[in-house]
Structure 1
Amino acid sequence: MTTKTIRRELKFTQSPAVVWRALATSEALADWMYPNDFEPRVGHRFTFRVPPDPRAQFDGLVVHCEVLRCAPPSELEFTWVVGEGWLDTRVRYRLEADGDGTRVLFEHSGFKEDQAFHGAEYGWKMMHGKLAKALEKASDNPALKA
């Protein structure tokens, strides 16, 4: 069976250190993604709690994750598991300095179901838009300051 992968290249004007904090601190992740109990250490198991959306007839869900790689400020990889193996995928961020800013290579791999793949494409587009807005306001956010 062939699996599908979502790939995106994101560019931010903030330094890799600031972008890293947005990706690798629980408080910052909660600002642009979902409530969580993330810790930036390999082997840490954590969850994202996706809230319900009654307008979309969505009851919410819990995403179970485990940090597989954490190499500040350049690489973060974790599992992304929903249900009893219904969705068992991996998320990876790789950060590279790009002038004064940061180039981020994003990958979410391992999709077997088209519905899950298309839903995740939509979800990541929304979340990465929120990430960009959070980074634009980085100077106002204590979680993103050094």
Structure 2
Amino acid sequence: MSRLNMEVFYPYPPQRVWQVLTNRQALAVWLMENDFEPCLGHKFQFVHSTLPGLEGNIDCEVIELDEPRRLAFTWQDSMMCQPSIVTWTIQPVVGGTKLLLEHKGLIQKAIKLNESMQLSQPWQGKFIHESKAGIQTIIPNNRSTVFSSIPVSRYEALDSIVFSYFLNGGWNYSLHEKLPQILATLCTN
């Protein structure tokens, strides 16, 4: 089980913080493009394009909604075997709001596959990486080198790059850099 817990203070009232968590346009500015609706059971997607060369959808479903205190939704990108859970808790404090984030899910490491090994269950979004040993051939009087590769092992990669990105700094950047900007903008409008 992998879990990220963050706590952030914002000098704004809880209703304003709730607004940036549940408004589709605000979410698009500080997190990702989406079709979110604050409605229990609503299925929506985030369109992830934060990582260069990696674009895709994150499938979500609102599983808890207690305005303006708590919001939880599932989070599953194409490389995840099962969804993780993102939970937001808003607490009024003197001078503003404390926002708590918990993002938890299973992280499975790559497992080595033999040629005869078959997975017994259908994994969603799996991809195979072949480890290769390189052989260098130098062609005399031709000034060229030929590289060829021989498969050594196959690995089933089960970790989600997007999930790992958010657990390892993506949420921190979004909550400390981008979300405060949208909160300040909402307060001036």
Q: Which amino acid aligns with 2:170?
A: G
Partners of 2:50 and 2:173 in 1: how far apart? 16
Q: Do the aligned partners of residues 52 and 97 (structure 1) sit closer, same or farther apart at CA in structure 2, a change above 3 Å counting?
A: closer
% identical aligned pairs: 29
Superposed, 1:10-89 pairs within 5 Å as: 10-51=8-49, 53=51, 56=52, 58-83=53-78, 85-86=80-81, 88-89=83-84
Can you give the 5+ residue segments of structure 1 that lack an aligned partner in the other structure?
142-146
Q: Do the aligned partners of residues 87 and 134 (structure 1) sit closer, same or farther apart at CA in structure 2, a change above 3 Å counting?
A: farther
Partners of 2:8 and 2:81 in 1: how far apart? 28
Residue 97 (1) aligns with residue 92 (2) = yes
Counterpart among 160, 166, 171 of residue 124 in structure 1: 171
Residue 139 (1) aligns with residue 139 (2) = no
Q: Report the number of matched residues.
A: 136
Partners of 2:106 and 2:172 in 1: how far apart? 16
Partners of 1:127 and 1:87 in 2: how far apart? 24
Partners of 2:173 and 2:100 in 1: how far apart? 16
TM-score (norm 1): 0.84
Can you give the 5+ residue segments of structure 2 that lack an aligned partner in the other structure?
110-158
Instruction: Output the aligned Cα RMSD.
Output: 1.9
In 2, are the aligned partners of 1:52 and 1:61 still within 8 Å (CA)? no
In 2, are the aligned partners of 1:12 and 1:132 still within 8 Å (CA)? yes
Partners of 2:54 and 2:79 in 1: how far apart? 17
Partners of 1:52 and 1:5 in 2: how far apart? 21
Q: Aligned to 2:179, what secondary structure does the other structure show?
A: helix
Which string of whole-angstrom CA distances, capped at 9 and with x for unpartnered residues, describes residues 20-57 of structure 1?
A: 0000111110110111000001000000001264xx4x
Which string of whole-angstrom CA distances, capped at 9 and with x for unpartnered residues, describes residues 46-73 of structure 1?
A: 00001264xx4x2211000000011111
- Highest CA radius of gyration, 1 or 2? 2
The structure that is helix-richer by fraction is 1
The structure that is strand-richer by fraction is 2
| Post-superposition offset of 1:87 | 5.4
Partners of 1:92 and 1:25 in 2: how far apart? 16
Partners of 1:140 and 1:51 in 2: how far apart? 29
Q: Which amino acid aligns with 1:123?
A: G
